Amino acid sequence: MENRIKNAVEQFEALLRQQLARQERMEQSAPAKDFSGMQTVTVGLIDGDGIGPIIMKQAKRVLEKLLTDEISAGRVVLKQIDGLTIENRLALGKAVPDDVLAEIKTCDVLLKGPTTTPKGGMMESANVTLRRELDLYANVRPVMVPEEGIDWIFFRENTEGEYALGSKGVELPGELTMDFKVTTDAGTRRIAKAAFDYARANGKTSVAIVTKANIMKKTDGMFSRIAHEVAEGYPEITAEDWYIDIMTANLVNPAVRSKFQVFLLPNLYGDIITDEAAQIQGGVGTAGSANIGGQYAMFEAIHGSAPRKIEAGEGDYANPASILKAAEMMLRHIAMTGKAEKLGKALAECTESEKRVVVTGHRDGATCEAFTDYLLEKL
Ligand code: IPM
Ligand code: MG
C-alpha cells in the first residue's frame, strides 16, 4: 500500500508541474491573429464520425456556394483533412493522430463534424485534445428563442476545470479513484475578459458568473474571484454571482430566463448547461459552438456523433442546422460578416419562419440533404 500511495503522489507532483508550466506559457502567449488584414484564410474541414460526415457534406455545399468568389480569388482555401475517424484513432491509439494534427496546424480555422469519444479506457476525446493542442480557451455558444425574448451567449472556459486532467486521474486499483479539477489565474482571466469584452462590444448590461464556489472552494472560488476582478474593468456591466444548480433551474423557468444575457462559466458546468440551453432553443441539433484561441479557432456542432442514429439507419435525418450555425460563427470570426449574415438570415428563414426543420432521427421531417437543397436556394 505504501508503495502505491508513493506512486500516486509522484504522479500528482508531475501533474502539478505540468499545469504550472502551462500557466506560464499562457502568460507569455502571442497576440491574437487579426483576420481583417489576411490575404488568404485556410479553412480546414474535418468530417468526424457517426453523423459527422453526413452534416459536414451539407456544410461544404453551403460554404462552396456562399464563398464561390472568395475561393476562386484564392482569398479562402477550403482544405479537407481526413483521418480523424474513430477507427483510425483507435487503431493508432491516439486521440488526434500526429499527421492529422500537423495538417490541422496548417489551417487558420476549422469546421469540424462531431467525433465519437470512447467511454472509460485511456483514450482522450479528440475535442479535448484539439482544444488543448490549439489552446482554444473560449467555448462560445449562442442560444436564441426570439419569440420569448431569449438571447443568451455562453462563455465556457474550454481548456481547464475537470477537462484539463480528465484522463489523468489517480487510482489505487479496486479501492479509490481521484480525478482533478484545475483553475489557473491566467486561464480564468482570459475567458473572463472574452466574456466582458463581448458584453461591452454588444451593448449587454450584465454577465452572470456561474460557479459552485460554495463547495468547490479552491477552483471555483478562484474562478469567481478573478472573474469579479476582471469585471471591475467594465463598470457599465453588472457582474452577477450565481451557483450552477439554481442557474439550471432558472433556465427552465420562463418567468425569469429571458433576463439573462451573457454567462461566464468553468468548463464542465458550461458543457452541461449549454446542452440544456440548446434544448430550450429546439434541441441540440440546432446549436453551434465556437472554440476560440489566439492563433486558431474551431467551429462545430454542440452535439456528439449520434452513433445510435446511425445504427438505427436514421443518419440521413441528422439536422445540419447546428453545423451551419457553426459555419456562420466561423465566417464572422474570419471577418466575413456579410457572408455570415447572409447564411444566418437564410437559416432563420428556413427554421423559424418557414419551420423547415430537420429533427434528428425523425423520418417524417426533411432529410439533411433536402433541407440543405432548400437553404441553398436562398443563398
Ligand atoms: C461538447 C461535447 C464535448 C465536451 C465532448 C464531445 C468531449 O459534449 O463540446 O460540449 O464534453 O466538451
Ligand atoms: Mg457537451
Q: What is the pLDDT of residue 285?
A: 82
Minimal-distance CA residue to ligand 1 atom 9? 302
User: Ligand 1, closest atom to CA 139?
Assistant: 9
Compute the distance from residue 304 Cα to the ligand 2 centre, in Å: 8
Distance CA 62, CA 326 (A): 12
Compute the distance from residue 7 Cα to the ligand 1 centre, in Å: 31
User: In residues, how long is the chain?
Assistant: 379
Within the chain, strands assigned E span 41-46, 76-81, 109-112, 138-145, 150-157, 170-172, 176-178, 206-211, 238-243, 262-265, 288-292, 297-301
- Structural contact between residues 4 and 172, judged by C-beta atoms closer than 8 angstroms: yes
Q: What is the pLDDT of residue 158?
A: 98
User: Ligand 1, closest atom to CA 304?
Assistant: 6
CB within 6 Å of ligand 1 — which residues?
117, 125, 127-128, 271, 289, 304
Q: What is the pLDDT of residue 53?
A: 96
* 253 pLDDT tier (thresholds 50, 70, 90): very high
Q: What is the pLDDT of residue 359?
A: 63
In terms of pTM, does the model score above 0.85? yes
Mention every residue, 6+ apart, whose C-beta is less than 8 A from residue 207: 195, 196, 199, 231, 237, 238, 239, 240, 261, 262, 263, 264
Q: What is the pLDDT of residues 273-295, one digit of tens each?
A: 999 999 999 888 889 999 999 99
Q: What is the pLDDT of residues 312-335, one digit of tens each?
A: 999 999 999 999 999 999 999 999
Ligand approaching nearest to the C-alpha of 141: 1
Look at residue 233 and tell me whether its pLDDT is greater than 80: yes
The more confident residue out of 365 and 194 is 194
Percent of the chain scoring above 70 in pLDDT:
97
Which CATH architecture group holds 30-135+304-379?
Answer: 3-Layer(aba) Sandwich (3.40)
Q: Which of 288, 295, 297, 355 is nearest to 321 (CA)?
A: 288
Compute the distance from residue 127 Cα to the ligand 1 centre, in Å: 7
Ligand approaching nearest to the C-alpha of 113: 1
Q: What is the pLDDT of residues 61-118, one digit of tens each?
A: 999 999 999 999 999 999 999 999 999 999 999 999 999 999 999 999 999 999 998 7
β-pairing, 138-145 with 288-292? antiparallel
* 37 pLDDT tier (thresholds 50, 70, 90): confident
Look at residue 242 and tell me whether its pLDDT is greater than 80: yes
Q: What is the CA radius of gyration of the chain?
A: 21
Amino acid identity at 11: Q
- Average pLDDT of the segment spanning 125-136: 94
SS3 assignment, position 265: strand
Task: Look up the CATH superfamily of 137-292.
Answer: Isopropylmalate Dehydrogenase (3.40.718.10)
Mention every residue, 6+ apart, whose C-beta is less than 8 A from residue 202: none
**Mutation test residue for ligand 1: of 96, 127, 289, 292, the one with most atoms within 8 Å of CB:** 127
β-pairing, 206-211 with 109-112? unpaired
Q: What is the pLDDT of residue 357?
A: 65
Distance CA 99, CA 113 (A): 18
Q: What is the pLDDT of residues 145-204, one digit of tens each?
A: 999 999 999 999 999 999 999 889 998 888 999 999 999 999 999 999 999 999 999 999
Ligand approaching nearest to the C-alpha of 95: 1
Compute the distance from residue 272 Cα to the ligand 1 centre, in Å: 9
Mean pLDDT for the chain? 94
Q: What is the pLDDT of residue 123?
A: 83
Q: What is the pLDDT of residues 77-89, one digit of tens each?
A: 999 999 999 999 9
Q: Which residues surround ligand 2, an ion (CB under 5 A)?
A: 271
Backbone angles phi, psi at 262, to 5 degrees: -115, 135
**What ranges do the domains of the chain cover?**
30-135+304-379, 137-292
Within 89-219, strands assigned E span 109-112, 138-145, 150-157, 170-172, 176-178, 206-211
- Structural contact between residues 238 and 244, judged by C-beta atoms closer than 8 angstroms: no
**Mutation test residue for ligand 1: of 89, 119, 124, 125, the one with most atoms within 8 Å of CB:** 125
